[in-house]
Amino acid sequence: QVVENTPLTEVHFLFSMLKSPFVFVTRKGILAGIIMKKHLLEIPNTGYQVMK
């Protein structure tokens, strides 16, 4: 779980440490969304991916 203003470097670190395909995002203790690792690593509008 991360809050909505968590830096992307910390989110990436969570994916590395937890080995989870997704992380829950909360706002004031309420689920605001889910970040999928595969979507975080994609470069928008290209089909290319950043290093894994």
* Domain spans, the chain: 2-40
What CATH number labels 2-40?
A: 3.90.1280.20
pLDDT tens track for 1-52 = 677 788 878 887 888 888 888 888 888 888 888 888 887 766 666 555 555 5
pTM of the model: 0.60
Closest CA to 24 of 4, 50, 38: 4
Closest CA to 26 of 18, 16, 34, 15: 34
Tokens of 5: 């203003």
